[in-house]
Chain A
Amino acid sequence: MSDSPQGAPRTILVSGGTGTLGRELVARFARSDAAVVVLSRRSSTRMRTVMGDVRSGPTLGMAPAECAALRECVTDVVHCAADTTFNRPLDDARATNVEGTRAVLAFANECPRLERIACFSTVYVAGRTSGCFGEDDLGGADGFVNSYEQSKAEMEEVVRQAMTELPVAMYRLSTIIGDSRSGAVTGLNAIHHALRLLYQGLAPMVPGPETALVDLIPVDFAADAAYHLFERAFSPGATYHLCAGASHSPTLGRLLDATMSAFERYRPAWRKRSIARPALVDLDTYELFVRSVEEAGNEVLLQATRAVQSFAYQLAYPKAFVARRADEALALASIQAPPVLDYYENVVRWCIETNWGAGA
């Protein structure tokens, strides 16, 4: 489906089109006949870009003429832009994730040819909830681990309200760690920073039980799945989980073992450093360690613990993400998240060989 019902070509506006998922989606949309316009704070020579910023209200920071022209032709809005920094001050996170989304929806509401909107969220809106978390669950009842989760949960409220008037579908992503085939990472996130700390021997402990499931997805799956659900199986008002799920997620213990063995395999000299596998501890013990590091004023360990802290607290609230609706829709296209341990080593290898992207 590349033309609108009137026969005019589709125009897809993608916010966050230069980000990890956004650029993969843009590449897929570009293979269709649709015109793809990327809203970005930076210009790009590789794609048609309009300069703008979702934090700038309903004009999205575009020049008035450009904004007006775009309103007339946009048929699809794919809203990927987000502040994914876990430990940003809450107001800053809200500015992008909540108010930015409100602005995108307001813009979309002014587009006469609008057919559909995709909004991307995170499965971690579940927050401190433990146990199974489904696509129709709202999460957050027990609070959140970081400002990212909270701002995304608040964003979802905005999206759900908009669903009553606009054709919006929501896609909750698990943590994207890289390309399953090459291991390449286009945007380092907390997982990669934690991997680096493990590699450097600066992560003595991680809060969480051995058996906690760690749900990760490769970017190629995330893009294939989102593209299919949006282009081939769009269902306004629906929320989908794009995640590995319980059956394809390793336990925290197995993931740590896989990490240590990948370090040894791809950097044999690393073994000589005698770096111990981090201890898995309860939250109280971890917080006592963090407090001690803070009191001691040790800057290096302080940064290390904060980097782990921003995401690892999730591990202390074990949960399994259920993706019944997404699985059903994706099964028809034989799209399925691969087992994490089938490709995880590729990502670790890429991190080691490129020095976490510095030499990529």
Chain B
Amino acid sequence: MTNVGIDAVTYYLPASAPTLEELERRGALRGSAATLASFGFQHARVAESESHVDMAMHAVRALLDETGTSPDEIDLVLYAGALTSSSTMECAPAPAGSVLHMRDLMDFFKYPVSRLQSELDLENASVAGVDQQGCAAIFSSVRLARATLLAEDDVRTVLCVSADRLPHGAAREVVYNLVSDGACALLVRRNTMRNRIVAAHQVTKGAFWDSGSLENEIIAAYFPTARAVIEETLRKAGVTLAEIDWVIPHNVSLRSWEILLGLIRCPREKLFSENIGRVGHTIAADNFINLRDATDAGLLRKGDLLLLFTFGYGLNWSCMVLEH
């Protein structure tokens, strides 16, 4: 059977890393800095001058450079965006707080992924956007990459990109989580020995589409559905939780991870949690930033089974088992 894996991962985080106290002074938190600190957060990463497209470019350039991949090797680009604004070009100057600011009709036809393909000379790549799944979008792009690689012989290398940046001045707290800006880029390839995709599973509950008015219901739905999705992914992978070596999380609060680990009866030691405080929740890029950092830290051994789980508005719960 043909294997598909995530051959390489890079990411980009803005340099600006204000503390919770600084963010509180700026009025960027809904609640108190102390509460977020007790939930495991320390810093957010805030793009002061970079757009989401800039961050995507940085991440992809680093990926191509590090792996020595020629731009013309890329056969398909799947560009994931969690925020609806991430699928459009930014048209400055925008009114304060504005997300989708278009000056004229043709602005609606300007796409980040086309610009990426052009700027980085990805001449052989066709492109597609993957969005409307919140923070689960990058997981979907990996699933689609895998499916395409298995279905189409002439597609050998897929570039998955995710980049999101909150609008200037936006609150940095969403449902007790500290939100950062950031981007990640992945190379998904056939027959790679790295990060083989063993199984993936996603559940969508469109009933919660109006997320802003259903915050409490969403918190309540999050935990039992997360457990069900993780259990189903493990079943698809044919492994038990005991066989999982590491849980590579999305960087929602450490507290919510501790609760979820309790639900699935997973030891706390298996969670790679170092980035939750340091990086915050970069919307969609978390799991892959964490995968890269856990790898660089030498924590992952070849053959380790990794469980990646994320949750996105929409609502979407998404999970993946990788063999490192």
The residues of A with any CB-CB pair to B shorter than 8 Å are 200-205, 272-279, 281-282, 284-285, 288-289, 292, 295-298, 300-301, 304
Are A295's CB and B35's CB within 8 A?
A: yes
Instruction: In the complex, identify which listed stretch (B74-82, B100-108, B159-167, B255-263) lies at the interface while the others stay far away.
Output: B255-263
Given A276-B224, A295-B38, A301-B216: A205 and B263 interface contact (C-beta under 8 Å): yes
Minimum distance in angstroms from A343 CB to a CB of chain B: 27
Chain B interface (Cβ within 8 Å of chain A)? 31, 35, 38-39, 176, 205-208, 216-217, 219-225, 227-228, 255-256, 258-259, 262-263
Whether A297 and B262, one on each chain, are in contact in the complex, defined by CB atoms closer than 8 angstroms, is no
The CA of A300 and the CA of B39, in the complex, are separated in Å by 19
> Which residues from B are CB-within-8-Å of A202?
216-217, 220
Q: A203-B220, A296-B31, A297-B31 are in contact. Are A276 and B263 (CB under 8 A)?
A: no
A-B contacts, 30 of them at CB < 8 A, read A201-B217, A201-B221, A204-B219, A204-B222, A204-B223, A205-B224, A205-B263, A273-B207, A274-B205, A274-B207, A274-B221, A275-B221, A276-B221, A276-B224, A277-B224, A279-B263, A288-B262, A289-B223, A292-B39, A292-B176, A292-B256, A295-B35, A295-B39, A296-B31, A296-B176, A297-B31, A297-B35, A301-B216, A304-B216, A304-B220
Known: A204-B219, A304-B220. 19 other contacts (CB 8 A): A202-B216, A202-B217, A203-B220, A204-B220, A273-B207, A275-B217, A275-B221, A276-B225, A279-B224, A279-B263, A281-B263, A285-B263, A292-B39, A295-B35, A296-B35, A296-B176, A300-B216, A301-B219, A304-B216
Judging by beta carbons under 8 Å apart, are A301 and B259 in contact? no
| Complexed CA–CA distance, A204 and B225 (Å) | 9
Bound-state Cα–Cα, A285 to B217, Å: 19
Which residues of B are found within 8 Å of A285, using beta-carbon distances?
259, 262-263
- Checking A281, A284, A288, A301 against B220 with a beta-carbon cut-off of 8 angstroms, the contacting residue is A301
A78 to B57, CA, bound (A): 80
A306 and B35 alpha carbons, distance in the complex (Å): 20
CA–CA, A319 and B39, complex, Å: 35
Instruction: Tell me, in angstroms, the Cα distance from A240 to B215 when the chains sit together.
Output: 47
The 10 closest A-B pairs by CB, nearest first: A285-B262, A274-B205, A276-B224, A274-B207, A279-B224, A204-B220, A204-B223, A201-B217, A300-B216, A276-B225
Residue among A201, A277, A278 with max Cβ neighbours from chain B (10 Å): A201
Interface class of chain B by DSSP: helix
Asked if A204 and B221 sit within 8 Å, CB to CB, the answer is: yes
Nearest A-chain residue to B222, judged by Cβ: A204
> A206 — nearest CB in chain B belongs to which residue?
B224
Instruction: Give the docked Cα–Cα distance between A302 and B232 (Å).
Output: 30
Minimum CB–CB distance from B255 to chain A (whole Å) comes to 5
- B316: shortest Cβ distance to chain A, in Å? 12
Report the separation of the CA atoms of residues A279 and B226 in the bound assembly, to the nearest whole angstrom: 10
In contact, B262 and A274 (Cβ under 8 angstroms):
no
Contact A276 B228, CB 8 Å, known A289-B259, A292-B255: yes
Cβ-closest chain B residue relative to A283? B262
Cα of A116 to Cα of B255 in the assembled complex, Å: 56
CB distance from B98 to the nearest CB of A (A): 29
Residues of A within 8 A of B207 (CB): 272-274
Once bound together, how far apart are the Cα atoms of A285 and B259, in whole Å?
A: 6
C-alpha gap A292/B38 in the complex (Å)? 9
Which of chain A's residues have a CB closer than 8 A to the CB of B217?
200-202, 275
| Alpha-carbon separation in the docked complex, A300 to B218 (Å) | 12
Residues of chain B lying within 8 A (CB to CB) of residue A274: 205-208, 221
State the CA gap A204–B38 with chains docked (Å): 21
B32 to chain A, nearest CB (A): 9
Q: How far, in whole Å, are A202 and B216 apart by their CA atoms in the complex?
A: 7
Cα(A123)–Cα(B38), bound, Å: 40
Tell me if A298 and B216 are in contact (CB < 8 A).
yes
Chain A hits for B222, CB < 8 A: 204
Q: How far is the CA of A289 from the CA of B258 in the complex (A)?
A: 9
Contacts of A273 in B (CB 8 A): 207
* Nearest chain B residue, comparing its CB with the CB of A200: B217
| Complex-state Cα separation, A205 to B39, whole angstroms | 19
Taking CB atoms, residues of chain B closer than 8 Å to A281 are: 262-263
A288–B259 CB distance below 8 A:
yes
- A292 / chain B contacts, CB cutoff of 8 Å: 39, 176, 255-256, 259
